[in-house]
Amino acid sequence: MTLFQNLSITRKLLLILMLTSGVTVLLASIAFETKDILTFRQGIVDDLSSLAEVIGINSSGALVFNDRRTAEKNLQALRAKPHVYAACLYDRGGNVFASYQRTGPGEKASLPAVRATGYFLQGGFLHLFQQIDLEQDKIGTVFIQYDLEEIRSRIWQSGGIMAGIIAVVSIVALLLSVKLQRIISEPILQLTRTARTISQEKDYSARAEKTGRDEIGVLIDGFNEMLDEIQKRDGELEQHRHHLEELVTDRTAALQKQQQELEIALNRARQLAVEAEAANHAKSEFLANMSHEIRTPMNAILGFAGLLDSAVVGDKQRSYLASISSSGKTLLTLINDILDLSKIEAGKMELHYEPVSPAGLIEEVRQIFSLKLEEKDLAFQADIDPALPPGLLLDEVRLRQVLFNLVGNAVKFTDSGRIDLSLRNMSGPGRSNVLDLLIAVEDTGIGIPQDSLADIFDVFKQQDGRTAQKYSGTGLGLAISKRLVEMMGGTISVSSRVGAGSRFEIVFHNVAVADGQPRPTQESPVLPDAVAFENATVLVADDVEDNRRLVKEFLQDTRLNVLEAEDGRQALELAANYRPDLIIMDIKMPVLDGYSALEQLKQTDGLKTVPVIAFTASGMKEDRDRITRSGFDGFLVKPVEQAVLVRELALFLRTTGTTVGGTLEDKRDVQDLPPDTVARLPEIINMLETEFQHTCKNVRQRGFFNEIGDFGKQIESLGKQYDLDLLALYGQDIQATAGSFNIDEMNRLLDRYPRLVEQVKALHPKE
């Protein structure tokens, strides 16, 4: 079947036509042949029956009279029929009465037993029986055996003719089929060719040719319609594609334009950012300069005012001096506030969260303001919620700044009555990890008018000229406090009634509860405020004469000889000539600044080891960091106080006297060190260079006050154990700065640690 299906249409049609005509002719021939043979056979049977009847009639007398000879004679007449093979006459009893046989020599036909009238075919012969009646009485039977050779040869003959006819018919049918199948196959083939051409050449404009209105015609019409549709769609698609291309081109152009505009905007933004950065930089620089420029003369103003304090006797003059000092200090506060504000606004203020004891902090506030409260006869009550945990994670330095400002204002603006400071845990029980903290500062002071309430948190906003004049202040404290509180994620608010008092509230949400106990606020150890120096030379390099003079004045009662230089160059020359024991170096100087002068000093033999202390008026942390990094051995910030100057020098110069109010024994020369200490110096130096150095680095990096305080304690006990004042003092200083949260000073001391080790090493007697 598959073979047939794979044939071409032409072949299929030919095959179908040939098979149909062949089978038709064959069947017709078989039917005709069958009919012919049957008719022919019936003719033979009829002939033989007539012949048997004639023989019967002729032989009835012979049967009746038992005349076998006549009977046999009658049978001999059958000789004329060449296909009669044998014949016989049966008598009434069925016995052969007479017989005839056309036999060849030696042949003997076997005669069958008698039967009723009729015939049957057997062994290639037709056997016929005919009963002989006389006056309706059976007297015998005629039997004839007929040879069917005649029929067989007729069949062969007709078969040959039929085969001839079929062959002729087939040839004619083939010729006709070849011709006629084209009527059907040709249009289909043409359609196929058209379809192939279209699919190969993608030419949808081609059409199949229509040959008639029959089914193939309809098929061709359908095919052509389909092509029309495809062509139409093609056209539409082409149009769409074209449209899309146009669209893409348009959009690309628009995008390019947008990109160009964006680039222009971006460049502009970059330029603006650069300008803003430059402006910001300029602002920071301006602030730094301003701070520097104001601090420098303030150094002289406050310093000399301090010196004059003991010299002046009259009350009036003393009050003038007090005014100078307090105005100077206000000016310094203003500068610090402005620097803080600019740092906050430039996003440079960083927060450091650490465990803070609320109770400790409040106690600190009480101590700081105790004198003022006493002076003004104000009651102070601190109320701490017992539900508050002992430690909270907060930025202690900044929180203290805010509290100092609020309580400071309360003290300032309250003439009589009380000040209440309370801390509340606003979270319900159950939340043990975090809580909401409320801090309230309430006073019975002058109060704030309603119309001022909204803007007292703005910069430079004070109630009005009258109160500002009376109470002084910068008008920045609350602005800074608000920003700091908000930086820490809190809110600050105020409610007040003129004449009745004010209440400031700070709320911090989700304050983390600190693990363990925070470091208790330490009592600052009593620090030596005057030292008896041994004879030594100190060089002061500063371009401002007042500053040099001030240092000289501060040190005039000591055994220190002060040399003065106006700039870095002069400082180098003087240092080379006089080999001072210590140099105090201003940073900003004409000709050669402090950094460059230091660099050259550290490269000059014989001057390398002279300690150099930076004398800076800059309040900027960056400048202080730079000073520390540059290799200065210490630094003093203008305006400097006498005690601070002396203490700093005492760290580097030999002293012989007792520290005034000091807690330490005299410092000693190396010769005075107990022999045991001298013997153990290598061991001590080793400890200082390994485990202590490691701890120092660690605590400096982590910046936890309690750890730094502990480190100070360890150094102090090491110093005391081996009678090394140098170490004991250093340890105490560290504890003091950590205890008072003086971060800058504390870090400076920690950074000075390597220098301390060098100093201890220098105590080792040279061989």
What sign does the CA torsion over 752, 756, 757, 762 have?
A: positive
Among 91, 364, 443, 567, contact with ligand ADP (rule: CB under 6 A): 443
Coil, strand or helix: which one is 186? helix
Among 433, 451, 440, which residue's Cα sits nearest to residue 410? 440
Options 71-79, 122-130, 135-143, 455-463: segment touching ligand ADP (CB under 6 A): 455-463
In angstroms, the CA 504 to CA 477 distance is 13
Q: Give Cβ neighbours of residue 519 (< 8 Å, ≥ 6 apart).
A: 355, 357, 704, 705, 706, 709
CB of 625 to ligand ADP, least distance (A): 29
Q: Residue 644: count other Cβ atoms within 10 Å of its Cβ.
A: 16
Which is nearer to ligand ADP, 485 or 589 (by Cβ)? 485
Is 478 near ligand ADP (CB under 6 A)? yes
CB of 502 to ligand ADP, least distance (A): 4
**Residue 726 burial (CB < 10 Å; 0-12/13-18/19+)?**
middle
Structure tokens at 43: 């003719």
Which is nearer to ligand ADP, 435 or 446 (by Cβ)? 446
Structure tokens at 750: 């920690």
**Residue 506 burial (CB < 10 Å; 0-12/13-18/19+)?**
buried
In angstroms, the CA 453 to CA 493 distance is 9
Structure tokens at 629: 């990094």
CB of 436 to ligand ADP, least distance (A): 24
In angstroms, the CA 527 to CA 341 distance is 32
CB of 339 to ligand ADP, least distance (A): 15
Residues 479-498 that bind ligand ADP (CB under 6 A): 479
Which is nearer to ligand ADP, 213 or 466 (by Cβ)? 466
Options 75-83, 102-110, 446-454, 639-647: segment touching ligand ADP (CB under 6 A): 446-454
Among 298, 476, 560, 718, contact with ligand ADP (rule: CB under 6 A): 476
Structure tokens at 207: 């059409």
Is 477 near ligand ADP (CB under 6 A)? yes
Which is nearer to ligand ADP, 410 or 541 (by Cβ)? 410
Options 258-266, 368-376, 471-479, 690-698: segment touching ligand ADP (CB under 6 A): 471-479
Q: At what angle do helices 594-603 and 568-578 cross, to 10 degrees?
A: 30
Among 446, 541, 653, 699, contact with ligand ADP (rule: CB under 6 A): 446
CB of 712 to ligand ADP, least distance (A): 34
Q: Residue 154: count other Cβ atoms within 10 Å of its Cβ.
A: 16
Q: Give Cβ neighbours of residue 467 (< 8 Å, ≥ 6 apart).
A: 413, 446
Which is nearer to ligand ADP, 342 or 357 (by Cβ)? 342
Among 145, 474, 521, 642, contact with ligand ADP (rule: CB under 6 A): 474
- Which residues face 145 on adjacent strands? 86, 127
Which is nearer to ligand ADP, 410 or 640 (by Cβ)? 410
CB of 467 to ligand ADP, least distance (A): 5
Q: Which helix (H) or strand (E) holds 47?
A: helix 9-64
Radius of gyration of the chain (CA): 69
Report angle CA 76, 78, 82 to the nearest 5 degrees: 125
CB of 480 to ligand ADP, least distance (A): 8
Q: What does each C-alpha distance from 226 to 193, 205, 221 come to in angstroms?
A: 16, 11, 8
Q: Give Cβ neighbours of residue 386 (< 8 Å, ≥ 6 apart).
A: none
Q: At what angle do helices 477-487 and 315-345 cross, to 10 degrees?
A: 30
Among 463, 522, 616, 737, contact with ligand ADP (rule: CB under 6 A): 463
CB of 675 to ligand ADP, least distance (A): 59
In angstroms, the CA 221 to CA 213 distance is 9
11-37: b (≥16 Cβ within 10 Å) or e: eebbeebbeebeeebbeebeeebeeee
In angstroms, the CA 434 to CA 148 distance is 130
CB of 325 to ligand ADP, least distance (A): 18
Q: Give Cβ neighbours of residue 440 (< 8 Å, ≥ 6 apart).
A: 420, 421, 422, 424, 503, 504, 505, 506
CB of 359 to ligand ADP, least distance (A): 23
Which is nearer to ligand ADP, 468 or 678 (by Cβ)? 468
Structure tokens at 368: 């700081």
In angstroms, the CA 746 to CA 743 distance is 5
Which is nearer to ligand ADP, 476 or 550 (by Cβ)? 476
Which is nearer to ligand ADP, 330 or 721 (by Cβ)? 330
Considering CB under 6 A, how many residues would be counted as binding ligand ADP?
23
CB of 744 to ligand ADP, least distance (A): 23
Among 297, 360, 475, 703, contact with ligand ADP (rule: CB under 6 A): 475
CB of 589 to ligand ADP, least distance (A): 34
Residues 370-429 that bind ligand ADP (CB under 6 A): 405, 409-410, 413
CB of 567 to ligand ADP, least distance (A): 38
Calculated CA dihedral for residues 62, 63, 66, 68, nearest 10 degrees: 60
CB of 433 to ligand ADP, least distance (A): 34
Options 190-198, 444-452, 641-649, 670-678: segment touching ligand ADP (CB under 6 A): 444-452
- Report which residue's Cβ sits closest to ligand ADP: 473
CB of 477 to ligand ADP, least distance (A): 3
Residues 502-521 that bind ligand ADP (CB under 6 A): 502
Is 733 near ligand ADP (CB under 6 A)? no
Options 155-163, 474-482, 518-526, 725-733: segment touching ligand ADP (CB under 6 A): 474-482
CB of 294 to ligand ADP, least distance (A): 17
Name the one residue in this structure whose structure tokens are 């309360």: 410
Options 430-438, 462-470, 520-528, 553-561: segment touching ligand ADP (CB under 6 A): 462-470
- Which residues face 537 on adjacent strands? 561
Which of 475-478's residues contact partners 24+ apart within 8 Å by CB, and which partners? 476/334, 476/337, 476/338, 476/340, 476/341, 477/337, 477/405, 477/408, 477/409, 478/405, 478/409
Which is nearer to ligand ADP, 503 or 713 (by Cβ)? 503
Among 456, 530, 584, 746, contact with ligand ADP (rule: CB under 6 A): 456
CB of 461 to ligand ADP, least distance (A): 6
Contact 706, 356 (CB under 8 A): no
Is 716 near ligand ADP (CB under 6 A)? no
Among 145, 425, 462, 642, contact with ligand ADP (rule: CB under 6 A): 462
Question: What's 67's DSSP letter?
Answer: -
Structure tokens at 273: 């950012």
Is 349 near ligand ADP (CB under 6 A)? no
Options 120-128, 132-140, 240-248, 439-447: segment touching ligand ADP (CB under 6 A): 439-447
Is 442 near ligand ADP (CB under 6 A)? no
Which is nearer to ligand ADP, 190 or 467 (by Cβ)? 467
In angstroms, the CA 651 to CA 528 distance is 11
Q: Give Cβ neighbours of residue 384 (< 8 Å, ≥ 6 apart).
A: 358, 359, 362, 422, 423
Structure tokens at 663: 């807690």
Is 444 near ligand ADP (CB under 6 A)? no
CB of 456 to ligand ADP, least distance (A): 4
In angstroms, the CA 91 to CA 66 distance is 9
Is 448 near ligand ADP (CB under 6 A)? yes
Residues that bind ligand ADP (CB under 6 A): 405, 409-410, 413, 443, 445-448, 456, 461-463, 467-468, 473-479, 502
